[in-house]
Structure 1
């Protein structure tokens, strides 16, 4: 029997627009495509972006500028690994477009040559705030490329990124002998989305990882046409951006009020339908 799928309608103030971004190409991606066992190499610990990855960052920056996304985003959330933070500041940071971005502000988002990037400093002026969040990290455990550095090490490199949401200076989540299960990543992803819904911002960019995105999004789209389900759940390419809307259907944000709705009844009086007027 065919499933009847009809359009859905929700109050605007119970929706958030989320721009999901997978980080650009890192050195671990190049090595892992040649030999999957390379992911076990300690040399790929917290891998940086490649020069090609930085080209991808520049291309995505041009897109978010030309499409107007950069003017709408109120907050950039980023996984606290070098490759995601480099991608986030390169795409959504302040400064001019096209290539390297002059610092210009008192506190840069990334210092010059941050993470061996061979890039100019990235300004924190005229851009949204950046917040590092542990919940949106990559598949945890075993692979050194997914282990983060201490926050103490990151702060001098990414001075204007806010690390206040991260409780531990060192990485206590990554285990050398235990690989996180897919269902555990999915549960962490749902916890992240619930936390995200609690934020006041209505348009947010999230710069994260392939494994996190695939396992989190796999729970969605079951009430949609199969094509839409595929569109939601297909794997992300390096530096790919997809914009989605999350909806509060359970009154999680019941205290929120619309900033665009208008109650009418000015002047006060009954608003009767025309066929009720005698």
Structure 2
């Protein structure tokens, strides 16, 4: 008997229960994005050095000023780990949102209310396809801007390249990660760019067809050299087109992904995560960071402290939700979705996407 995706998720989370758990906190004072005075809507990571604050560190020493800001920051994180007990460690997460996808363009075109209650539940509109959306031309340009910015910092500031890479299994994130990191001239000894495709780094699972991933075979054929976590099933067992994750359910999933990253051997101090707006928001909640919405293609680093506590946490399976939607294009409304009188709202899927 095939178990529904929600049951599989609950079983997977229960199986991950440990005799210990990890508490996460954001270490502030290093990045502008941590400060309450920084406006996410106007923040530009490319003009602010990824938001790294120009300051001194206790680890600078006499020769600190011969190194760049990023070299000194990396040394500071190294020292934080060296001076900490074994149950505490620090990593810098580079959280990158994918470039603009066709679903983003469609939502802008139709407006958010109409998008949420009708158009997002279709595979496309005959002109564009947004089921597991690919990048638009603009989205590809955004990813290349990040590529060029990384290369500039590697060349001029000798920033430490990511020690490990992780990516959501959805097409728009796979494409973004590839455009961002492929072809970079990395320092000698840097690990090659071969991101691990992780199921639990995907976007919040809603009724929208853009949130249904394609098959494991599709992902492998798209980037054959990239590792895919062994637990990722061939087909998407989480998306149903009927139930969607609540924020609480998504945060449980996000913490599971973070636990695997922090417990993993060889992940290093600088970790790249290419994901989605909603999922990055969830990760920020898990690590106790202030809410900070990223524009498409944007990246923010966050310094995270992880403390392993020798006590198990009770497993939780927060409820998912069902939403009603129109069965025909809604009446235009700026504030809310209004279904036509002949299209009574339903809670059954409009399409069964399987690509």
Q: How many angstroms apart in 2 are the aligned matches of 1:236 and 1:174?
A: 24
Question: Superposition pairs for residues 144-183 of structure 1, below 5 Å?
Answer: 144-183=209-248
Alignment correspondent of 1:58: 144
TM-score under structure 2 length normalisation: 0.55
Alignment match of 1:201 (pick from 263, 267, 290): 267
Provide the alpha-carbon RMSD of the alignment: 2.8
Q: How many angstroms apart in 1 are the aligned matches of 2:170 and 2:206?
A: 14
CA distance 1:60–1:178, change in 2 (3 Å)? same
Alignment correspondent of 2:102: 27
Alignment correspondent of 1:191: 256
Q: How many angstroms apart in 1 are the aligned matches of 2:263 and 2:201?
A: 15
| Residue segments in structure 1 that go unaligned for 5+ positions in a row | 1-5, 98-124, 222-228, 253-278
Alignment match of 1:217 (pick from 268, 284, 289): 284
Q: Note if contact 1:20-1:242 (Cα within 8 Å) is conserved in structure 2.
A: yes
Question: Superposition pairs for residues 6-85 of structure 1, below 5 Å?
Answer: 11-13=80-82, 14-35=89-110, 36=112, 37=115, 38-43=119-124, 44-68=130-154, 72-85=161-174
Post-superposition CA distance 1:200-257 (Å, at most 9, x none)? 2221100001111112312444xxxxxxx5xx421111011101122123368xxxxx
Alignment correspondent of 2:67: none
CA distance 1:129–1:71, change in 2 (3 Å)? farther
Alignment match of 1:94 (pick from 183, 203, 206): 183
Secondary structure of the residue that 2:308 maps to in structure 1? coil
Q: How many angstroms apart in 2 are the aligned matches of 1:175 and 1:244?
A: 33
Aligned length: 212
Q: How many angstroms apart in 2 are the aligned matches of 1:133 and 1:164?
A: 6
Q: How many angstroms apart in 1 are the aligned matches of 2:296 and 2:305?
A: 27
Post-superposition CA distance 1:160-213 (Å, at most 9, x none)? 111133431100011210011111111111111111101222211000011111
Q: What is the Cα deviation at residue 71 of structure 1?
A: 5.1
Alignment correspondent of 1:247: 305
Secondary structure of the residue that 1:155 maps to in structure 2? helix
Q: How many angstroms apart in 2 are the aligned matches of 1:77 and 1:250?
A: 22
